């Protein structure tokens, strides 16, 4: 398993749990893919995009299980980040941790 992390706001997580499918946050939908972070970049991602927010959850996903729709592409400073080019399904969530 190659763990990767998707941060969600509480409302996004509640909607995901209710529907079983997550098409993306407003930023994800704007960019055309779901932004995900490698574990070593989660703190930086949280500080940059979620500063001051409460009720965040960190979803651990298995990069290998997401198939060809997951692409590792350069982002901040050329670091490769995983981007998912399809909706995420609830059964693909390996674990959930409140941040």
pTM: 0.93
Q: Identify the residue whose tokens are 């909607």.
A: 15
Task: Give the pLDDT band of residue 14 (cuts 50, 70, 90).
Answer: very high
pLDDT of residue 75: 83
**Percent of the chain topping pLDDT 90:** 87
Q: Identify the residue whose tokens are 């703190």.
A: 43
Query: Residue 52 belongs to a domain with what CATH number?
Result: 3.20.170.20
**pLDDT (average), residues 57-61:** 98
- Is residue 20 classed exposed, middle or buried when 0-12, 13-18 and 19+ CB atoms within 10 A define those classes? exposed
Q: Please name which of 70, 2, 76 lies closest in space to residue 34, comparing C-alpha atoms.
A: 70
Number of domains in the chain: 1
Between the CA of residue 32 and those of 25, 26, 42, 84, what are the distances in Å?
A: 10, 10, 21, 9
Domain span including residue 18: 3-98
pLDDT of residue 43: 92
């Amino acid at each position: 398993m190659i763990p990767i992390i998707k941060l969600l706001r509480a409302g996004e997580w509640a909607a995901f749990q209710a529907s079983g499918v997550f098409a993306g946050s407003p930023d994800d939908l704007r960019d055309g893919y779901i932004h995900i972070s490698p574990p070593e970049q989660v703190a930086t991602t949280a500080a940059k995009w979620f500063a001051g927010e409460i009720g965040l959850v960190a979803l651990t996903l298995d990069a290998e299980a997401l198939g060809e729709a997951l692409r590792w592409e350069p982002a901040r400073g050329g670091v490769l980040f995983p981007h998912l080019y399809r909706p995420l399904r609830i059964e693909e969530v390996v674990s959930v941790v409140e941040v």
